[in-house]
């Protein structure tokens, strides 16, 4: 089992015939993802990468039964593309595009909430989603991933790749890897993804990579502390999704927070990674997560070794 994406996911690519869309759609196809078509206004009726091209997402959904959209549309039009996908009935929208104006994303997120409640948005400004050995929808290097029991969620693309590589080198594969992006208004939060991992029987432990700025990590700490302890009634009834964690009380959470040495008030890389006053500091996030019971990884290079030292898969 996995979250969000699997071998049966039917993916269309918005911005399909552009340079970024073409390159990464090709890599997704090579990985084995079901890319069933793409959308480029004005190019409908043609083919690209041996897949059909449509003028609108609505047409693409009707013709291909797509349920996932991968967006590479340039920033000025990307929020409109998100809303178009939601209106067409897409259930998972993955927006890779960076540099989308905050006001545009605020409008798009509210539109999805009001007019397309079926849609879950990942991104923008993210590497995408991959369920190893099944499907990838994004820009991550597929070869470093390995199927296994570790769920990984991150605000940073490059740090995600580093963590995945370390885990795979230690023989610890991943159930699903989700890059939520580092913008001020993400489509999905750490809490949203932690909730999905909590419900997934394949996911036995979770790695979370955060950074300074905002309150997403503190929110995740509160959720982990309050909600990720197994339901004892479910355990007594033999619920396999929860009973396997009865001995430890919860799925272990391993956390690395980037930005420890960032100067106050300076944005570091991501638009959402800015510390204002005492809010969103590295220290505040670490304290909240440690108090919630998470294992803190102090050094980026020690993510894989820390997980390997403190976690043993059920199947091992």
Which of 24, 145, 270, 282 is catalytic? The answer is 270
Q: CA-based Rg of the chain, rounded to a whole angstrom?
A: 19
48 given a catalytic annotation: no
Residue 162: name the closest of 129, 209, 111, 204 by CA. Answer: 209
Alpha helices in 88-189 (DSSP H): 102-115, 157-169
For residue 124, say if its preceding peptide bond is cis, omega within 30 degrees of 0: yes
On whether the CB atoms of residues 125 and 271 are closer than 8 A, the answer is: yes
Could you tell me the two tokens for 47? 């083919």
On whether the CB atoms of residues 4 and 187 are closer than 8 A, the answer is: no
Could you tell me the two tokens for 135? 């499907």
CA dist list (Å): 31 to 26, 48, 288 = 9, 17, 38
CA dist list (Å): 221 to 50, 75, 112, 161, 253 = 46, 32, 26, 23, 10
Q: What are phi and psi of 235, to 5 degrees?
A: -65, -45
CA–centroid distance for 58 within its chain: 25
On whether the CB atoms of residues 16 and 25 are closer than 8 A, the answer is: yes
User: Active-site residues: which are they?
Assistant: 270
């Amino acid at each position: 089992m996995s979250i969000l994406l699997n071998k049966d996911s039917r993916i269309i690519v918005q911005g399909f015939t552009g340079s970024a869309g073409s390159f990464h759609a090709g890599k997704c196809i090579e990985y084995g993802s079901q890319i069933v078509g793409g959308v480029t206004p004005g190019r409908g009726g043609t083919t690209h990468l041996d897949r059909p091209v449509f003028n609108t997402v609505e047409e693409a959904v009707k013709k291909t039964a797509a349920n996932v959209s991968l967006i590479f549309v340039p920033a000025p039009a990307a929020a409109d593309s998100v809303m178009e996908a939601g209106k067409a009935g897409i259930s998972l929208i993955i927006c890779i595009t960076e540099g989308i104006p905050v006001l545009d994303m605020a409008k798009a997120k509210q539109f999805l909430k009001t007019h397309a409640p079926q849609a879950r948005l990942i991104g923008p400004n993210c590497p995408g989603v991959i369920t190893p050995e099944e499907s990838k929808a994004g820009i991550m290097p597929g070869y470093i991933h390995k199927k296994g029991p570790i769920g990984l969620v991150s605000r940073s693309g490059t740090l995600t790749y580093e963590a995945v590589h370390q885990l795979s080198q230690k023989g610890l594969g991943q159930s699903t890897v989700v890059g939520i992006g580092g913008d001020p208004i993400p489509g999905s939060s750490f809490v949203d993804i932690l909730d999905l991992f909590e419900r997934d029987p394949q996911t036995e432990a979770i790695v979370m990579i955060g950074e300074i700025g905002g309150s997403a990590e503190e929110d995740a700490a509160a959720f982990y502390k309050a909600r990720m302890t197994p339901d004892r009634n479910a355990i007594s009834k033999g619920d396999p999704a929860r009973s396997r964690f009865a001995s430890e009380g919860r799925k272990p959470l391993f956390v690395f927070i980037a930005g420890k040495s960032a100067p106050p008030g300076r944005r570091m890389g991501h638009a959402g990674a800015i510390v204002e006053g005492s809010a969103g500091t590295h220290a505040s996030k670490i304290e909240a997560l440690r108090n919630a019971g998470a294992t803190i990884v102090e050094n980026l290079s020690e993510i894989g070794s820390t997980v390997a030292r403190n976690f043993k898969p059920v199947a091992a």
